[in-house]
A and B are shown apart, each in its own frame.
Chain A
Amino acid sequence: MKKFLTLLIVAIQFSFTAQEANDILSKVVTKLNSVNDYTVNASVKANIPMIKILPSKATIYFKQKDKFKIVSKGIVILPKQGFTEINGFLANKKSYLAVAGDTLKIGSVMTKLITVIPNGESNEIILVKLWIDTKHSAIMKSQITTKSNGSVTTTYSYGDYVTYGLPSELVFEIDVKAFKLPKSVAADINKSTTEKKTKPNKKGVITVTLTDYKVNTGLSDAIFTKKK
């Protein structure tokens, strides 16, 4: 009887935290879904071990549900995950289980941790952790763990477009331990192996500053199919 009661209490508590998590996520998703499309100018600064690149500029186009395009004059490095995956993943409520966790203060904002676990095993995403500003229903920090690409932690900052849930700055922290250069093409004849044995940092940071949002302007699908 005692065991049953304990189990019942745990089940009820879990159901409450799941309900709370779903409510919070639902508000976030509603906010994100209020943006049908947007265009934004991005300034990308990448500090990644083994890659030297100067800050670069690009224009980002997005249209629901998952149309995403980056146009730039030069080369722009961005993380493979982090821009649109969360929107698409959270939109399908049946595909995951959400659990509310602890509260955490990020900067001056109090956030609630929501852990999202996908239901299916076939999903590339293994786990998503979201720290959500419940006051504005905005994601302040996320951590996406995938099967093949490790985890990406993103910190969000908001400006004028917080009402749409659109950030003004994204800071991606990516795992770079798997970087290996093909020896056949990377070998410098004149450099000895002793020079190459410098251990790279484990984390790479990409900072994307987003300015001049143009939201819900009715972007044409042709933008996403056109080459450059």
Chain B
Amino acid sequence: MLLKNTYNEFIKILSKPRSYLGIGALTLLVGIIIFAMKADGRSIISFVTSSFEQTLTFNGDVLNGNLIAFIILQMLIVHIPLLVALVTGDLISGEAAMGTIRMLATKPISRTNIVLSKFIAGAMYTLFLTLWLGLIALFVSRQIFGTGDLIVLNSDGLVILQDADILWRFGLGFCVAFLSLLTVSTLSIALSAFAENSIGPIVSTMAIIILFTIIGSLDVTVFDNIKPYLFTTHMASWRSFFEDPVPFNSINQSIIILVVHNIVLVAIAVYKFNKKDITS
């Protein structure tokens, strides 16, 4: 029953025009970035390397598909949560707003399973969005710009990764990025269980992300104890796969915190939906 309901929920997601808005926006944005990099990528790269180029020369194809994919990921991973929340924030509250929640609750499936099926459907949509981003960012960029070594700029300096050592980093990076986006999806579903309209959970999700990100970026000691537990602190963990050596301990810690967030948020959504008064 859970699987059947998950299938139904996924069909519901696919039938909503807003679900394609995210994919369309993503495709357009990646297209614009690739066009911009093709037209003026060299000057963007030289802005990053200019400090080093006073004394050194970087020979070889610096502007390649791997670098473009990394830049796209870095730029878009900040904005994708909005595209995810736009769809998943509506999953429970949308039913309440349209009045279909009563009909849904009369089906021979427990309320817990209803929430779980919505969570799984939301996760599938998020996975599709992440895969789509990976596909167009990595494969299209590599097709247009070719492959090559990847220059990554961290706060500690430049890391230059060899072409043969990159694809697995992207693969694992996408997995962690998916987990981060899944947390956003779960958060919006949890908030959706509290709301009666679609806009509230979407805006609240983004407000929480912005608030947590600002707290995380403030160098104030009073927040030092909170920062490691904010999910936004770990949303950029995918980037750690592009460090050398890869800080697996810190990535594992981020994965644990994100997974715990997902479990807690699903539990909250299940609890709230089970207590939800659908009769009035």
Contact = CB atoms under 8 A, between A and B. Distances in A.
Interface in A17-67: 48-54, 56, 58
Given A54-B162, A178-B54, A228 B61 contact: yes
B155 interface: yes
B244 interface: yes
B-side interface size class: 35 or more
Interface string A181-215: 11001111111110110101000100000000000
Nearest to B78: A189
A80 B157 contact: no
A193 B219 contact: yes
B186 interface: no
A226 interface: no
B55 A75 contact: no
Interface string B51-80: 111111111111000000000000000000
A75 B62 contact: yes
Contact of B54 (A50, A148, A195): A148
B260 interface: no
A32 to B, nearest CB: 22
Contacts of B159: 51-53
A86 interface: no
Given A70-B59, A75-B59, A75-B61, 15 more contacts: A51-B159, A74-B163, A75-B58, A77-B56, A78-B57, A152-B55, A179-B51, A179-B157, A181-B51, A182-B47, A182-B50, A186-B155, A188-B155, A189-B216, A190-B227
B55 A174 contact: yes
A72 interface: yes
B163 A48 contact: no
B180 interface: no
Interface residues of A, number: 46
Contacts of B52: 51, 179
B233 interface: yes
B153 A52 contact: no
26 contacts: A52-B244, A53-B160, A54-B160, A56-B162, A58-B59, A70-B59, A75-B149, A78-B57, A79-B55, A79-B56, A148-B54, A174-B55, A176-B55, A179-B52, A179-B157, A181-B153, A181-B155, A181-B157, A185-B47, A186-B154, A186-B155, A187-B155, A190-B227, A193-B219, A195-B155, A196-B156
A76 interface: yes
Contacts of A178: 51, 54-55
A75 B148 contact: yes
